[in-house]
Amino acid sequence: MITERGQRLFLLLPLLLLFAAGVSSAGFANEASAQVAPSAPLNVVVTLPEIGEIVGKIGGAEVVVTTLLSGSEDPHFMDATPSLVSRVARADIVCAIGLELESGWLPKALAKSANAKVQNGGAGFCELGPRVEVLGAQSGATDRSMGDVHRSGNPHFNLSPKALAQSSRAVLEVLVRTRPMKAADFEKRQRDFVTEMVRVEKETRDILRPAIEASKLRAVAIEYHKEFAYFFSLYEINSMGSIEEKPGVAPSAGRLAQISLQAKNAGVKVALASLTAPLKHVRRFSELSGIPLKTVPTVMMTSSRENQDATSIEKVQKSIAKAIVESL
């Protein structure tokens, strides 16, 4: 015999089953939705704008790039400010040039950020320098008396499209490590970037043709600091060396007099300096030697307001090339 209470439960049973089914199906729907929903872009923090261009072109829509330097600063000398540390703290990936270029400030920013995944050696940290055929590596002992010597080699490879193409492998690897499901897309875009750098190198070489021919006979250029070494090496521009006697150390009056006379007698056609070089010294060299001075961007700019000829890797290359050729 079914009691009155049992009859009520019996009548409610279909409603309870429908409710349970609805909750279950909604759960599955939410789970499926979560699986197919696109992932948020990776927050990639880079030191130099050139790295930002590489990351953007390889990462595509999978990345949002934050650049710590605008291109108007000297990358050797920065401070680990609270705003800089804050950006590093929110990063999924941090990419640097390496070769001790950022050694005065980036390790401090990383340590203060307390972001474990982007510490040196972490899954979200990459340095581009180790992937490059480095110039100027020091095999012997070095100390501060030698100036600002980078024992691992000259870090200014951002002025060589060939070296940037090589270094893009480091960016590819960290992106694949962080988002492996997009590996095929990253790999294709990295190949496209390499192809683009080959084109940029060819077009820049075409601009430099007169300087390349002149370089077969004599030194045509001198640089204030050894920032143009990769550019000169790639394009076979004959350089007399640097105005600085020791890297990162301002030349004395005696050094300026000596190197000015040597450059004048050698028939050097142009003195190149970065936008952050000390104008007092480079202008004095130009006055003593009679050699025209060209200050050019040696780091890409993030804004055209600062220099419209330096807002891409390609524009920096061609800007330097034109400055050299115009001085012949």
User: What gap in Å lies between CA 307 and CA 18, rounded to an integer?
Assistant: 67
User: Does 227 share its domain with 285?
Assistant: yes
Residue 164 lies in a domain: yes
User: Does 240 share its domain with 93?
Assistant: no
- Domain of residue 289, residue span: 208-326
CB-based contact 110:85 (threshold 8 Å) = no
User: What gap in Å lies between CA 300 and CA 315, rounded to an integer?
Assistant: 8
Query: pLDDT for 207-264, tens place per residue?
Result: 999 999 999 999 999 999 999 999 999 999 999 999 998 888 899 999 999 999 999 9
User: Does 54 share its domain with 197?
Assistant: yes
Q: What is the CATH number of the domain that holds 74?
A: 3.40.50.1980
User: Does 47 share its domain with 184?
Assistant: yes
Name the helix (H) or strand (E) containing 93. Answer: strand 93-96
Per the structure, the count of domains in the chain is 2
Instruction: List the strands of the sheet with 42-46, edge to edge.
Output: 63-67, 42-46, 93-96, 125-127
User: What gap in Å lies between CA 295 and CA 100, rounded to an integer?
Assistant: 24
User: Does 262 share its domain with 310?
Assistant: yes
User: Does 277 share its domain with 313?
Assistant: yes
User: Does 50 share its domain with 196?
Assistant: yes
Task: Name the residue among 159, 94, 88, 150 with its Cα closest to residue 122.
Answer: 94
User: Does 174 share its domain with 246?
Assistant: no
User: Does 46 share its domain with 194?
Assistant: yes
User: Does 227 share its domain with 96?
Assistant: no
Residue 32 lies in a domain: no
User: Does 231 share its domain with 87?
Assistant: no
Residue 169 lies in a domain: yes
Determine the pLDDT at residue 38.
Answer: 57
Query: Using the 8-state DSSP alphabet, how is residue 27 labeled?
Result: H
308 compared with 214, residue with greater pLDDT: 214
> Which residue matches tokens 């190949």?
191
Query: pLDDT for 85-103, tens place per residue?
Result: 999 999 999 999 999 999 9
Determine the pLDDT at residue 141.
Answer: 62
* φ, ψ of residue 158 in degrees (nearest 5): -65, -10
